[in-house]
């Protein structure tokens, strides 16, 4: 029923992702959401985020951040992590994701997306044909429109976890 909203993988944190394994699997580009994916909502790039991007670039990954936020917020963050960006991306429409792929010079098949929201981040990445990783939000403080969506996300995640558990049992 909700399968089109299911991420390909779910992890507690962006910082728990095994990027080396993903590189070995052939991925070369990573699109990231910013708020509550890399830092708390509205926060500047912190040392942990800067170190992650240094590590990813050293490994050979191209990165691009896509956000529905306005340019000043996105640009200031991206300057600190040395990454191109798409602002006012229009997520969940695929246009911003496809623009990020073009900026990185990768393909849909070699690009993955990391974000914290099902109805914007994951849905949009799925529409664009990308491998998706959903992460738990970093901080509980969020804008009201996001808080409301989180209630619906809990329903989708309930069925997602049931499906994942069932697949493990069937193996």
List the domain boundaries for the chain. Answer: 3-170
Res 16: pLDDT: 97
Q: Are 92 and 120 in contact (CB under 8 A)?
A: yes
Domain spanning 3-170: CATH 3.40.50.1000: yes
Query: DSSP label at 14?
Result: G
Q: 117-160: per-residue pLDDT in tens?
A: 999 999 999 999 999 999 999 976 666 666 667 777 887 888 88
Spatial separation of the C-alpha atoms in residues 161 and 78, rounded to whole Å: 33
Between CA 100 and CA 25 the distance in angstroms is 20
pLDDT in tens, 93-123: 999 999 999 999 999 999 999 999 999 999 9
Give the tokens for residue 9.
Answer: 């993988």
């Amino acid at each position: 029923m909700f399968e089109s909203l299911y991420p390909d993988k779910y992890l507690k944190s962006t910082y728990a992702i095994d990027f080396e394994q993903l590189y070995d699997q052939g991925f070369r580009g990573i699109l990231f959401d910013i708020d509550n994916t890399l830092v708390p909502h509205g926060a500047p790039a912190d040392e942990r985020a800067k170190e992650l991007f240094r590590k990813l670039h050293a490994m050979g990954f191209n990165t691009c951040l896509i956000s529905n936020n306005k340019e000043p917020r996105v640009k200031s963050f991206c300057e600190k992590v040395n990454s191109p960006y798409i602002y006012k991306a229009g997520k969940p429409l695929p246009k911003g994701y496809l623009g990020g792929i073009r900026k990185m010079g990768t393909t849909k098949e070699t690009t993955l997306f990391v974000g914290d929201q099902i109805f914007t981040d994951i849905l949009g990445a799925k529409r664009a044909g990308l491998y998706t990783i959903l992460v738990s939000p970093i901080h509980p403080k969020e804008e009201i429109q996001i808080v409301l969506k989180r209630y619906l996300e809990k329903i989708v995640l309930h069925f997602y976890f049931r499906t994942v558990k069932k697949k493990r049992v069937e193996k």
